[in-house]
Amino acid sequence: MHGDFEAQRHWMEITSNLPTDQWYVHGPKNDLQYWGLDYPPLTAYHMMTVGLIAKKVNPDVVELGSSRGIERPDIKFFMRFSVLFMDIFLFLPAATAYFIFSRPQKTDEIIILNSIMVIATYPGIMLIDNGHFQYPFVN
């Protein structure tokens, strides 16, 4: 069985092709023994959104059944980019808002900026999350 890449890709395949009432149910089109969707519904809806975008860009990425195990450089690029996109447009604004609105009154702005920069450039985000096709800041 494949790793994280295939799990995320398969979840996009399931959620973008099957009705919601079949996402968590074993059936002829959803083999739960093969990377069954085991994350909460919010994650499933996120994977559906990414899967629908993938269908527009490259439909064979999420073709139900026939895309199983597919690993090409263009697909990996798309998936890594989708993780990076979510980091930039969801996680970083949330982290920035946290540091701005939770600071004590006399906190120097340079400390806030440094804190944001440390989080934004933290190697674990780029190497682990993007490298393993994970969306922890959405989950």
Q: 């190497």: which residue's tokens? A: 127
Residue type, 121: T
pLDDT reading at 12 higher than 60? yes
The count of C-alpha atoms lying within 13 angstroms of the C-alpha of 130, restricted to the half-sphere facing its C-beta, is: 18
Q: Which pLDDT belongs to residue 76?
A: 87
In this prediction, residue 126 has a pLDDT band, given cuts at 50, 70 and 90, of low
Cα 59 → chain centroid: 18
Question: Is 107 within 8 Å of 99 (Cβ atoms)?
Answer: no
Q: Which residues are registered as beta bridge partners of 30? A: 27
The average pLDDT across 68-77 equals 89
More reliable by pLDDT, 62 or 91: 62
pLDDT tens-digit series, residues 32-58: 999 899 889 998 999 999 999 999 999
The average pLDDT across 104-122 equals 82
More reliable by pLDDT, 136 or 121: 121
Q: Where do the structural domains in the chain lie, given as residue ranges? A: 4-61, 73-130
- Of 41, 42, 44, nearest to 7 (Cα)? 44
pLDDT reading at 1 higher than 60? no
